[in-house]
Amino acid sequence: MSEGDAGNLAVIALLCDLPQSTLTRAANNCRWRSYSANEQIIDRQSEATDVFFVGEGRARVVNYSISGREITLDDIGTGGHFGELAAIDGQPRSASVMALTRCSVAIMSQEHFLQLIDENPSVALKVMRGLASIIRNSTERIMDLSTLAANNRVQADLLRQALNNRDGDNSASISPIPMHADIASRVSTTRETVARVMNDLARQGILERQKNVLVVQDVSRLQEMIEEVRGE
């Protein structure tokens, strides 16, 4: 991808509705960089305030416990962005970001990002909705960690993924199949617990592995299981 190519930024969900002239100006205010798989993109506590747009590839937002255990906060694929928190409030980074695959990202300075928000209300609204989603998801995860047993947290994580990947009224297809270690990292449990829960759900006919896709055949049933333990 070449620097300053507005076509590359057109895949970014935050920017895709901008007029071509605005997209071109935004592209000219970015620099492009490629990262190899497993290479760190952002270091937690870094004082840099740039915003990153993923033109190609997949990155993971992580944090670490006092004992050094990695906690996955989010995965961001092509068309996503990250780094806006530090750009908005000027504080150090709240999490680290690493490339899961080879990534090509456009990097925009804090100054240009804030100018983009100021001049384009549609972008500002998308940013606010994204931040609201982060808050809601964080609140839900805190409640899950505080109130749900490990097996129920695994079920809740699978439900969140299913709701984001529906392909029918009551089914969903999650691709690629999530790794046990990744789910365990998100919900603070062991890979063995994740494997046991997924096997139990498969025996109940709720999950089915199909090549490189995890099919949730009964989203409603999975949702009922979580609502029952949450007392909803």
The answer to the question of residue 51 being in a domain is: yes
Instruction: Return the sign of the alpha-carbon dihedral for residues 207, 210, 212, 217.
Output: negative
The answer to the question of residue 1 being in a domain is: no
| Whole-angstrom Cα Rg for the chain | 19
**pLDDT tens across 53-109, in order?**
999 999 999 998 777 788 888 899 999 999 999 999 999 999 999 999 999 999 999
Do 196 and 127 belong to one domain?
A: no
Residue 198 belongs to domain spanning:
149-230
The answer to the question of residue 207 being in a domain is: yes
Do 118 and 216 belong to one domain?
A: no
Do 138 and 211 belong to one domain?
A: no
**pLDDT tens across 104-140, in order?**
999 999 999 999 999 999 999 999 999 999 999 889 8
Average pLDDT over residues 41-57: 95
Query: Which CATH number does the domain housing residue 14 bear?
Result: 2.60.120.10
Do 114 and 163 belong to one domain?
A: no
Name the residue type at position 71: I
CA distance 186 to 52: 23
Nearest one of 166, 54, 157 to 100, comparing CA atoms = 54
The answer to the question of residue 73 being in a domain is: yes
Number of H helices, E strands in the chain: 9, 11
The chain-wide mean pLDDT, for the chain, equals: 92
Query: pTM score, two decimals?
Result: 0.82
Average pLDDT over residues 16-42: 95
